[in-house]
Amino acid sequence: MSVTEQPPPHPGPGPNPDDAAAADAAVAQLRDRISADSLTTRRDYLRIVATVSGGLAIGGVGVAAGILHRHGDSESLPEPKKVTDQLGPGQSVAFRFPGEDDRALAVRLADGSLVGYSAVCTHLACGVLWRKERGPDGELYCPCHEGVFDARTGEVTAGPPPRPLPRILLTEQADGSVWAVATARSGEQAKDALCRQFGDDHPLESASVGCPGAGRAGAPERRPT
138 in contact with ligand FES (CB under 6 A): no
Backbone angles phi, psi at 204, to 5 degrees: -65, -45
- Residue 129 engages ligand FES in binding (rule: CB under 6 A): no
The yes or no reply on residue 144 touching ligand FES (CB under 6 A) is yes
In the sheet where 91-96 sits, what is the strand order?
Answer: 91-96, 103-108, 114-118
- Residues 146 and 106: their CA atoms lie apart, in Å, by 21
State the binding string over 62-101 for ligand FES (x if CB under 6 A, else -).
----------------------------------------
33 binds ligand FES (CB under 6 A): no
Whole-angstrom Cα distance, residue 55 to residue 189?
A: 6
Q: Which window, 53-61, 95-103, 138-146, 199-207, contacts ligand FES (CB under 6 A)?
A: 138-146
Cβ closer to ligand FES: 33 or 145?
Answer: 145
When the beta carbons of 23 and 165 are compared against ligand FES, the nearer one is 165
C-beta atoms surrounding 14 within 10 Å: 17
Minimal CB distance residue for ligand FES: 147
Stretch that binds ligand FES, among 63-71, 84-92, 144-152, 206-214 (CB under 6 A): 144-152
Residue 158 in contact with ligand FES, rule: CB under 6 A: no
Dist CA 218 CA 32 (whole Å): 23
Nearest distance in Å: CB 148, ligand FES: 9
d(CA 152, CA 131): 13
**61: exposed, middle or buried (Cβ count in 10 Å: 0-12, 13-18, 19+):** middle
Q: What is the DSSP string of 107-168?
A: EE-TTS-EEEEE-B-TTT-PBPEEETTSSTT-EEEETTTTEEEETTT--EEESS--SPPPBE
The answer to the question of residue 13 lying near ligand FES (CB under 6 A) is no
Q: Does 126 bind ligand FES (CB under 6 A)?
A: yes
Q: Are 117 and 111 in contact (CB under 8 A)?
A: no
123 lies in the binding site for ligand FES (CB under 6 A): yes
Which one, 8 or 66, has the nearer CB to ligand FES?
A: 66
Judged by CB, which is closer to ligand FES: 114, or 148? 148
Contacts to ligand FES by CB under 6 A: 121, 123-124, 126, 142, 144-145, 147, 159-161
